[in-house]
Structure 1
């Protein structure tokens, strides 16, 4: 379907202006394997709107939807129950259709929400200050590395092997254009993290150390020794949290000395939604606030002394000169941030701690039952609601076999690390409050069968 009514002559003039011979030249940076070759399979070339709706509906029914089948997927995106009141709030017109609150006199509701969101994120992460959201967790991770480079005036970051490989991929992509040097490797299928190796690798050229907490295998690391070692060399510690519910039960990264804490806020208030939109969280120590990317909503008083809210800092390229900007990824996710703050407000501190305890207890129950299956062993000696199993068979085909039995039984490490044979038998499972006893029974039965 063509949305721009351009003639061949129009297109030729545009291509000539940018120095391209054909439209295909505009996509040379996209790997050939990722490009479409011909028409999209299973889609008719032309049909009525009603026929297209019916066809797309039939395709959608082929999906295995969370809530309809036993669901144990995680690895950075988690299924939690979102109260109906959250959806009601974010669909109110003043929030759903609003844009950047440049005029505070008519945007007090949005600005106050952003201020409350920042307060919640800062408290959750154990930091002094947080911004009003980022695009998502992976880009927030990169922005933190770039921020550390500005602060330390160094350009080498050490990325823990336990950092989500998708986050690593995003950072590597961005680093191609900045010249930053990123050091990382794949994890090992063991209970031990790479904390000691990271500490040994920190030198006088290191700008930052990036550690996920809990990490991609669900392991929980004491960040204090890493922070101490980094600070001794003039480097910063960046902690990445992909499951913020975990902070209702374990110590916050800021308490352990992390200078910058970033992550994904999807699991609080935002559904899985087939991959997005999500919301990036970003917090840091107050002394670094001038280098923090994104926007910051602040509290003030008006001419009559009444409390009000304004954008205090907006050092993004759409606000100031690009070369002076602290962020060139300008999209924030304020509607998702509203969902996050609405859900967290409804929970309160007590509710979050109860939710976290329920998640952990459920995960322990599942880990005990599955690790009792002959040939299956638990990798972790600590975890929150996500853990890794070592199977007696390759995990990727085992996951596909469980799908055929109507169970979404985790994420195989072979999918995340296709080039690592050592991780092929690793299976990561996430267990939240949404999992029922019947779900656990179905998972146990399916895993027993595929491991037999």
Structure 2
């Protein structure tokens, strides 16, 4: 916590020097309705010992629970070496490497990350991270509008099977720039977009977003959707879980010519759940669109002595402070998270990632089969999926999750608010960290919840 040395007398003297009566006067341009007001639940002061005790207690609330929640953030095994290396001083305190001569180690690591992500996604180019997956989708949408110069409509087709938070974030970022995000509904039986339902003459479309796997865990018909988009002059934006690409088809191989832009959340690659972050966003694209890509891009070259060297390329520091003339106004990336992911992927290798993805899929299938045997529980969608799935319950989802939580089981993500048409629906996930005993513990507790409810009624 920083030490702030200004006394009340210092503050008074500074305010007098600039002709202000109070600190609040410095922010008078902010409307009252946007101000937070007094933070009633935050104590005015506490000792260091009391603060430490409070934070330890809060952290302990997340410990020891069996987690079956996915919905964009996943509990995976992280080798101990990942964060032992990531938190070394050379990485932990490194700033954005604008001075290449002093940052070769950081630059090389970021270059290796880009190489791994390009290989994993089947794309030609990767940047060195964005803020998170949701804002990454918004950046991909803006990038598509810049890159697809043949389209004038600024219409982006976004399936409702894209993560609701991603859709909301993208809308917030692009809504005042004249972009139109048009939602595509999904098939109620399969939980994916039915390519046959797409219009034969959709008009001018700038881009089509394709999630893979989608928010329900379903596998969209990416080849047909990609070809349809390209046939109508639209770019394809793939929103992927990079962990799944150890097992599933890379976006660069979709359809006849592959996806054009790939984005997603990097958290599954070596980043702990950590009560919600920090995480980071990934972005890759075809070489033809690299000059429209936001964020940092590291290039490899040789110096006058023929030795390899690394540097930021295709952009300058000023790009991010030139406002409307910049490719993007994002300045924040998650370099430390990228470091962890690079080490994580290096340790697992292609075969290790494939095995982990296959085990996650096997565990989720086992969990789905076991829970579907419970009276009052049924699968919501048919068709293949990965990592997670949707169940429909004959009891209120909120009540069921509360009962499961009382036994230290985080039972899933309630879909009732985001997808009310599905009724009492629950999104459930199992990764490679779940065991047969974990799955049985969940099923046994869920059975008891339904038995108790039936007895009560």
Say whether the fold is shared (TM-score over 0.5). yes
Range 99-108 or range 50-59, more displaced: 50-59
Larger radius of gyration: 2
Q: Equivalent of 1:390, from 392, 403, 410?
A: 392
Match of 1:289 in 2: 290
Match of 1:376 in 2: 377
**Secondary structure at 1:338 match in 2:** helix
Distance change in 2, residues 1:79/1:148 (3 Å): same
Match of 1:94 in 2: 90
**Secondary structure at 1:313 match in 2:** coil
Match of 2:247 in 1: 249
Distance change in 2, residues 1:15/1:209 (3 Å): farther
Distance apart, 1:375 and its partner CA = 2.3
1:119 equivalenced with 2:115 (yes/no): yes
1:142 equivalenced with 2:144 (yes/no): no
Distance apart, 1:50 and its partner CA = 1.5
8 Å contact from structure 1 (residues 115, 297) kept in 2: yes
Tell me the distance in 1 between the aligned counterparts of 2:379 and 2:18: 58
8 Å contact from structure 1 (residues 158, 198) kept in 2: no
TM-score by length of 1: 0.89
**Secondary structure at 1:295 match in 2:** coil
Distance change in 2, residues 1:414/1:91 (3 Å): same
Note the residue ranges of structure 2 that are not aligned, 5 or more in a row.
Answer: 452-457
Distance apart, 1:14 and its partner CA = 8.2
Distance change in 2, residues 1:15/1:287 (3 Å): farther
**Secondary structure at 1:122 match in 2:** helix
Distance apart, 1:273 and its partner CA = 1.0
| Cα RMSD for the two superposed structures | 2.7
TM-score by length of 2: 0.88
Tell me the distance in 1 between the aligned counterparts of 2:287 and 2:373: 48
**Secondary structure at 1:390 match in 2:** strand
Distance change in 2, residues 1:333/1:29 (3 Å): farther
Range 77-86 or range 389-398, more displaced: 389-398
1:324 equivalenced with 2:325 (yes/no): yes
Distance apart, 1:397 and its partner CA = 2.3
Distance change in 2, residues 1:214/1:174 (3 Å): same
Distance apart, 1:45 and its partner CA = 2.8
Tell me the distance in 2 between the aligned counterparts of 1:316 and 1:199: 43
Q: Equivalent of 1:70, from 61, 66, 83?
A: 66
Tell me the distance in 2 between the aligned counterparts of 1:302 and 1:264: 35
- 1:27-62 CA distances to partner (integer Å, 9 max, x unpaired)? 6675xxxx7564443x5333322123223333443x
Tell me the distance in 2 between the aligned counterparts of 1:141 and 1:101: 25
Distance apart, 1:376 and its partner CA = 1.2
- 1:340-380 CA distances to partner (integer Å, 9 max, x unpaired)? 11101111111111111111111111111001111211224
8 Å contact from structure 2 (residues 133, 263) kept in 1: yes
8 Å contact from structure 1 (residues 207, 236) kept in 2: yes
Distance apart, 1:255 and its partner CA = 0.6
Tell me the distance in 1 between the aligned counterparts of 2:182 and 2:47: 53
Distance apart, 1:21 and its partner CA = 6.6
- 1:61-83 CA distances to partner (integer Å, 9 max, x unpaired)? 3x233xx1211111000010111
- Paired residues, number: 438
- 1:424-445 CA distances to partner (integer Å, 9 max, x unpaired)? 4111111111112222122102
**Secondary structure at 2:199 match in 1:** helix
